[in-house]
Amino acid sequence: MNDAESVTGKVESIFFSNPSNLFKILLIKIKATTLKWGEDEIVVKGSFGDITEGDSYSFTGTLVDHPKYGKQFQAATYKSEQPTSRDGLVAYLASERFPGIGKKTAERIVDGLGLNAVDDILADPHVLDDCGVRGEKAATLVASLKENRGMEQVVIGLNGFGLSGNLAAKIYAQYREDSLDIIKTNPYQLVEDIDGVGFRTADGIAQQLGFAKDAPQRLGGALSSVLNTAADSEGDTFVEAKTAFGQVRSLLGDHAQQYTGDEAMLKVLQSQVADHKLVLEDGNIYTQTLYQAEWQIASQLSGLLDEGSAPDYGDERIDKTIHGVEKRLEIDYDETQLAAIHGALSHRIFLLTGGPGTGKTTIINAVVQSYAELNQIDMDPNNYKSDEMFPIMLAAPTGRAAKRMTETTNLPASTIHRLLGLGVDQTDYEARDLPDGLLIIDEMSMVDTYLMKILLNSVQPGMTVIFVGDKDQLPSVGPGQVFADMLASGALPSVELTHIHRQDTDSTIVQLAHAINEGKLPADLLKKHADRSFIACPPAQVPRAVMQVVSAAARREFDPLGVQVLAPMYRGDAGVDNLNPVVQNVFNPNDTGKRKEVDGGQYKYRIGDKVLQLVNNPDKNVFNGEIGIVTGIDKDEKGKNDSLTITFDDNEISYPRSEWGKITLAYATSIHKAQGSEFDMVILPLTMQSRRMLKRNLVYTAVTRAKQFLIMIGEPAAFELAVQTLAANRNTGLKKRLCSAFSIEEPAGDAEQQPAATPAVSQPAPVQVSEPVAEPATAAVAPDTAGEEPADTILTEDMVIRGTIDPLIGMHGVKPADFEHKE
Ligand SMILES: Nc1ncnc2c1ncn2[C@@H]1O[C@H](COP(=O)(O)OP(=O)(O)OP(=O)(O)O)[C@@H](O)[C@H]1O
C-alpha cells in the first residue's frame, strides 16, 4: 500500500465484533501515529483475530471517511505491541495469560533473552532451557504464546494470500495456529477441509508460494476438487478413476496433458490413498469420508436388523392388533397396506414407499396405533416428564415435512436435526442416543449419506425404525441416494404401495403424477380440469401468464402462502429470479411507492412478503426450506443497520442486514427447495430454456407438491422432454455395501426402474429382480384440441378475464384470505 499510515495504541474498547468473519471495530487510545490527527483517540476497523481490551497494538492502513461515523482508520494489518521496557515485559509474561509463570520466572526469561524474548521463544522454544524453564512449564508457555500471538499472525498471513476475513476465520477455526504451516506445505489441503475454498483459490495461493504446475500437491488438489464437485453438484459418492483423471486434466487447462498422464495421476492417487484421504475400489475413487459413511450405514443397518433382535409379538397378535385398529379407525386396509403394517411391526427396520395418495400417511398412523397397543404405550405426550422422550418419535428432514407429520398424526414430530440435538453443522458427532421406542422418518428421499450415518449412530438396538418416502422423487440435495439404494439392495424388508386410494377422484393431479412416473403424459394434458390446467405459451410469455394466474388467484382471495410457483431453474424468463418479483407485485405490491420497503440486493422486502429460509439454524429453531412472513422492518437512516422481523409460524426472528443472505423471497422457489412441502396451488412453468434440468423425477416432484390445483405454464414440449428423460442414477456404493453387509447377492438393474413390489413384504433374501421396465421413447403429448388454445398462444389480459383460458375456472375450495398488508 503506497499511502499506508500507522497507528499504535491501547485498545480502550471493542465496539463491535462479528464472530463469523473476524470483523471488529475498536476504540484506540493513540500512543503514536503517522496521521495528522488532533485527538488522542481513534476508531480502527478491520479483520482482527483475538484482540484484548487493554492491550496495545500497532495497525497499518488508511484513514477513511464513513458517511455516518466520520473519519476512521481502516486497518490492513495489525500486530500486537510488545511491551518495550523490561518491567513491562516481565509484567506481561507474569500475567494471567501465561499460567505457571510467576514474576521470578518472568524476570529470568527477560533478563536472559532481552526485549525480544517473545519472538525468540516462538522461533526456537529451546532458548527457554537457558532460562531454567523446562518441561511442562516451557510447553505451556510456548502454547499460550502461540495462542496469543498465533491468531494475529495467521490472520495477517491469510490476508496476505488475498483470503477474505470470512475465509480467514474458517481457516483459523479449522487449523488454529498451524494454519500458515499447513497452507505453506500444501495449500490444496484447503480444498478438502474448508467449505468455500475451491481449486482456483488454492491454486492462486500455491502460485504465490511458487508451487510447480506439476507438483503432486497440485494434482492431488485437483483430484480432491473433482470429487468434491461430483458430491456437491451431482450427488455422487464416487467418481470412476478414468473420468476423474479426465476432469483433472480439463480443470488444469491445456498444457496439463504433459504432466497428467495416467501414470502420473495413478501415482498421485496412490499417495492420497496411502494418506487415507481417498479410497480406490473397483476402479472408482471415493473420499474417505463418504466411503466410511456408506460402510457405517450398511453395517449399522445390518446390526439393527440382526435376526435375533426381531420383535416377538407373534404374527397372530400383530394381526389381531391391526384388525382392532382397522375397526376403531373405520378403515379397510388393502392387501398391500396390511402387508406393510405387518412388516413394519415384525421387523426392527422397515422401508415403506409409494406415490401420492397410496396411503403412506395412513400406514404411518396404523403402525403408530398398533405399536402403541402392542407395547401398551401411553399416547398422550403430556403425560411424559420434560426430560423423558416420547417413545413414538416422528421426524423428517425439513421443518415443513415434520409439520405435515404432526398435522396428519396429531403427534409431535420434529426435524431429524432437532430430534438428534444436532447443531448447525450436520457432521456434528454430538448427536444424542435415542430412547427405546418407535422411530418413523418421513420424506426419506431427502436424507443424504452424511445425515443417514449420523441418524443411524443414534438408533439403539431394539428400536423399531420405519423409513417412509417416495423413491421416485428427487434425491437428496447432499450426496447419495440413500433411500433408493436401500430399496434397490433388496437387503431390507420393504413394501411399495401402488394402489391410489385418494377418494376425491376429481383430483386428476394424483393421476397425472402416476402417469408421469410411468413415463406417460396423458392425452388430456392440455385440457382444462377442475383441479389442473395447462397454459401453453413461449418462454417470453411465461412471466405474464404467471402474473395473470396469480392475479386471478388473488382476486379469488387465495392465501399467498398456499400459492407457490415452482421453477426448475433460477435464471431465464421462467426462472425463480425473474418470477419472484412478478408474484410479489401481485400479492404484495408497492404501487404507490409509499410503502415501507428495504432493498435487499436481489429483491426488495416489504411487510407481508413471503420469504424462504436458506440455511439450518437450530439455535433459532428455523430450518432450510421453511417459509415465513416479513412482519416487521426496522429502517436505519443510512441503511446500514436495517433489520427484518420474520415470523415462521409462531417463531419470530430478527434478521439484521448482515444475515439477509440467509433468506430470499419465496413466491417462486426451485423445485428442490419445495421437496417435503405441499401447497394448495402449484404453478409450474416449464420451458425449453431449462432443457438441461428437465428430468422425470423433477417434474414428478413438482406435480406431487400440489394439493388442490396445478397450473402448468409454458411449452408442452418441455413437459414431454421432462417426462421422457430419466435422471441418471447417482454414482453411489451404498447398494453394494448393503448387499455385502447382509451377505446377499447384489441385484442388477437400477433403482429408478425397479418394478412395483408385490403385495407381500419384500424380504431381504432371496432377492428377486425382474427385468427393468423398458422405457417407452414415445411419451408423447396427445393434445385434446377441442376448444383448446394452440401451443404458442399469446396471452392477453382480456382472455384471462373473459375466462377463455381462466386456469382457475371450476376450482373449488377457495380459502378466505388471511393475509393483509399491515404496516
Ligand atoms: N385402505 C384405504 N381405504 C380408504 N381410504 C384410504 C385407504 N388408504 C388410504 N386412504 C385414503 O387415501 C387418501 C390418501 O392416503 P394417504 O394420505 O395416506 O396417502 P399418502 O401416500 O400419504 O399420500 P401423499 O404422499 O400424497 O401425502 C387419504 O384420504 C386416505 O384416507
Three-state secondary structure string covering 577-593: HHHHHHHHHHHCCCCCC
Question: For residue 586, how far is its CA from the centre of ligand 1 (angstroms)?
Answer: 35
**Residue 83 CB–ligand 1 contact under 6 Å:** no
Strands 494-497 and 349-354: parallel
Q: In whole angstroms, how far apart are CA 717 and each of 287, 535, 670, 778?
A: 40, 13, 20, 12
Q: Does the beta carbon of 354 sit less than 6 angstroms from any atom of ligand 1?
A: yes
Q: What is the pLDDT of residue 749?
A: 65
| pLDDT (0 to 100) of residue 659 | 86
Yes or no: say if 460 and 437 are a contact pair by the CB < 8 Å rule: no
Report yes or no: 390 and 412 within 8 Å, Cβ to Cβ.
yes
Q: Binning pLDDT at 50, 70 and 90, where does residue 748 land?
A: confident
Q: Is the CB of 514 under 6 A from ligand 1?
A: no
Of 180 and 297, the one with more pLDDT: 297
Type and span of the H or E element at 623:
none
Pair type for strands 438-441 and 604-606: unpaired
Inform me whether the pLDDT recorded for 611 exceeds 60.
Answer: yes
Q: Among 141-155, 287-301, 470-484, 675-689, where is mean pLDDT lowest?
A: 141-155
The answer, yes or no, to whether residue 49 has pLDDT greater than 50, is yes
Distance between CA atoms of residues 604 and 664, nearest Å: 10
How many angstroms separate the most distant Cα atoms in the chain?
A: 101
**Other CB atoms within 10 A of residue 366 CB:** 24
β-bridge pairing 392-396 and 413-415: parallel
Long-range contacts of 270-277, Cβ-Cβ distance < 8 Å, separation of 24 or more: 271/216, 271/220, 272/220, 272/223, 272/224, 277/192, 277/220, 277/224
pLDDT at residue 198, rounded to an integer? 87
What is the C-alpha separation between 515 and 596, in angstroms, rounded? 47
Q: Which three cell numbers stand for residue 149?
A: 500471538
For 278-297, the pLDDT digits (tens) are 999 999 999 999 999 999 99
Whether cis (ω within 30° of 0) applies to the bond prior to 589 is: no
Which atom of ligand 1 lies at the shortest distance from residue 497's CA? 21
In this structure, of 514-523, 622-631, 641-650, 763-772, the range with the lowest mean pLDDT score is 763-772
Rounded mean pLDDT of the chain? 84
Please give the pLDDT value at position 821. Answer: 32
Task: Look up residue 169 and give its amino acid.
Answer: A
pLDDT tens string 85-108: 787 788 778 877 788 888 999 999
Partnered with residue 441 across adjacent β-strands are: 395, 467
pLDDT digits (tens, 9 = 90+) for 537-595: 999 999 999 999 999 999 988 999 999 999 999 999 999 999 999 999 999 999 888 88
d(CA 404, ligand 1 centre) in Å: 14
Q: For residue range 667-677, what is the model confidence (pLDDT) as tens digits?
A: 999 999 888 88
Q: What is the CA radius of gyration of the chain?
A: 31
Structure confidence at residue 429 (pLDDT)? 58
Minimum mean pLDDT range among 294-303, 630-639, 718-727, 776-785: 776-785
User: For residue 257, is pLDDT > 60?
Assistant: yes
d(CA 6, CA 34): 6
Distance CA 746, CA 763 (A): 14
Residue 654 has what DSSP assignment? E
> Ligand 1 mean position to 516 CA, how many Å?
19
User: Which H or E run contains 60?
Assistant: strand 56-66
Cell of 636: 436505519
In the DSSP assignment, the letter for residue 433 is P
pLDDT of residue 538: 94
Contact between residue 211 and residue 187 where contact means Cβ atoms under 8 Å apart: yes
Give pLDDT tens digits for 796-821.
Answer: 433 333 333 344 444 433 332 322 23
Residue whose Cα lies nearest atom 14 of ligand 1: it is: 357
Evaluate if residue 619 carries a pLDDT over 90: no
Note the pLDDT tens digit of each residue in 434-462.
999 999 999 999 999 999 999 999 999 99
Binning pLDDT at 50, 70 and 90, where does residue 481 land? very high
Take atom 15 of ligand 1 and give the residue whose Cα is closest. Answer: 359
Return the ligand 1 atom nearest residue 337 CA: 1
Ligand 1 neighbour 501 (Cβ under 6 A): yes
For the CA of 354, the closest atom of ligand 1 is 21
Please report the pLDDT score of residue 755 as a whole number: 39
